Structure 1
Amino acid sequence: MFNYLKELSFTRGAWLLLTTSCVALEATALYFQHGMGLNPCVMCIYERLALLAILVAGMIGFLAPRFILTRWIALLLGSYGAVKGLTLAIKHTDYQLNPAPWNQCSPFVEFPETLPLNVWFPSIFEASGNCGKIVWQFWGLSMPQWLIAIFAVYTVLFACLVLSQFKRSSGMRERNLFS
C-alpha cells in the first residue's frame, strides 16, 4: 500500500483530485452561505480556512510532484490543514452538542491586522452565525459533524502519504531540488 501511495504522490492527477475535492467542498460552503442563506459562524470560517490550506497544498503538489521539496511542502501544509480542520470541527461540534455560557465561540473572527480577510473578502470570511446553533442537518448529522468525517479522511490520507515517503522507491526515480 505504501508503495502505491508513494507512486501516487508523484502524479499530478492525484494532486489535482485532492484540489478538486477541496474546491467542491469550498463551493458547497459558499452555496450554503449565499444560495441557502445560512450565515457562517466563526468556527465555519476557520474550518473554511483549514480546507483552503489543503486546497493550496494540492495546488503546490500539482506544480511539481516529483521534486522532493515541493512534495514535502505540499504534504506538510496539507497535513496541517487536515489536523487543524479536524480539531476545529470537533470543537465546533462540542459547541453545538454541549451548549453553555462558558462553551461558546467568539462572535468575531480574529485575523492578523496584516491579513484582515474578513475586511478584504467579507462575502467569504465574515462571520455572522451562531456556533452553537444547528442550522442544517443531513442524515441526522450537522455540518461540523460531517466536517469531522471529511477532515478525518484527509488526516488519514495525509498521514499515510507522509509515511509512504519513507518507503524505498522501487524503480522510481525522484528528483530532488538539486539534481
Structure 2
Amino acid sequence: MVPVSRLQAFSHSRLAWASLTLGSALLLAIALFFQYALDMAPCVMCVYQRAALVGVMLAGALGWLSPRCPVLSNLALLGWLAAASKGVLLAKEHIHYQFHPSPFAKCTTTAEFPRWLALDSWLPSVFHPSGDCADISWSWLGFSMPQWLLGIFAVLAALALLFIMVRLVSAIKREA
C-alpha cells in the first residue's frame, strides 16, 4: 500500500496533473479519430461526454499550471471531480438509450449547451452532433463506447475522490 504522504506529494506534482491533462486530451483525440477517420457520427450524448472530458482536461491544465498553489490546485480537484461525475451520469444515460430504446425516451438531435457556453457553435468540428444515441456502431470486448466511457469516467472520479481524501487526511494530520 502506498503511504498517504507519497499520494499527497503526488497529488501536488506536475506529473499527476500532466498525466490527467494529456490522458484526457488523448481520449478526445481518439473520439475525433472515430469521427473523422472511421466516419462514426457523434450523437448528442457523445458530444456532451466530450464536453465532460474537456472539463476534466481543463481542470487538469489548471492543476498542471499551479500544482503547489492550494486554492487553484483544490479548485482543479473539485473541477476534475465535477466533470468526471457529470461524465458518469451522461454515460449512464447514453447506455440507457442504447440498451433500452423507446420511442418515448429519445435523445435530441441538437446540442443544448447554455448560451454562454455554446460549444456546438464555437467548435462544431468537435461538438456538433449528427448521430443517433441508440446506435451501437462500435464495441470492443463486448462493451459499447458509452460503456467504456462509463468505466473511464468512474475511474477518473474515483481518482479525484482519492486525491481529495488524501489531502483531507494530510490536512487533519497537520492540525493534530
**The TM-score by the shorter chain falls in which range?**
over 0.9
Partner of 2:43 in structure 1? 41
Runs of 4 or more above 6 Å deviation: none
Q: Which secondary structure state, in structure 1, belongs to the residue aligned with residue 152 of structure 2? A: helix
Greater Cα offset, 30-39 or 114-123: 114-123
Distance 1:106 1:4 in 2: 46
Residue matched to 1:79 = 81
Q: For the residues of structure 1 that align with 2:148 and 2:116, how far apart are their CA atoms?
A: 32
Distance 2:26 2:116 in 1: 29
Q: Deviations over 1:134-160 (max 9, x none)?
A: 011111110000001100100110011
Distance 1:159 1:114 in 2: 29
What amino acid does structure 1 have at the position aligned with 2:157?
Answer: T
Q: Does 1:62 align with 2:79?
A: no
Per-residue deviation, 1:13 = 0.8
How high is the sequence identity, in percent, across the aligned residues?
A: 40
Aligned in 2, Cα 1:3/1:103: closer, same or farther, shift over 3 Å?
Answer: farther
2:115 partner SS: coil
CA RMSD after TM alignment: 1.6
Give, in whole Å, the separation in 1 of the partners of 2:20 and 2:134: 30
Range with greater deviation from structure 2 (104-113 or 41-50): 104-113
Q: Which residue of 2 aligns with 1:96?
A: 98
Give me the whole-angstrom Cα distance separating, in 1, the residues matched to 2:47 and 2:15.
28
1:120 Cα deviation after fit: 2.1
Question: Structure 2: how far apart are the matches of 1:167 and 1:54?
Answer: 24
Q: Distance in 2 between matches of 1:14 and 1:115?
A: 28
In structure 2, stretches of 5+ residues that fail to align are none
Are the equivalent residues in 2 in contact too, given 1:3–1:167 (CA < 8 A)? Answer: no
State the TM-score, normalized to the length of structure 2. 0.93
Partner Cα separation in structure 2 for residue 44 and residue 21 of structure 1: 18
Q: After superposition, give the CA deviation of every residue in 1:38-80 in whole Å (9 maximum; x if it has no partner).
A: 0000000000000001000110001111110011110000000
Shift of 1:103: 2.2
Q: 2: CA distance between counterparts of 1:128 and 1:7?
A: 44
Task: Give 1:111's match in structure 2, choosing from 110, 113, 117.
Answer: 113
Deviation at 1:10, TM superposition (A): 1.2
TM-score, length-scaled by structure 1: 0.91
- Could you tell me which amino acid in structure 1 is paired with residue 101 of structure 2? P
| Paired amino acid for 1:118 | D
Higher helix share: 2
What is the aligned length?
Answer: 171
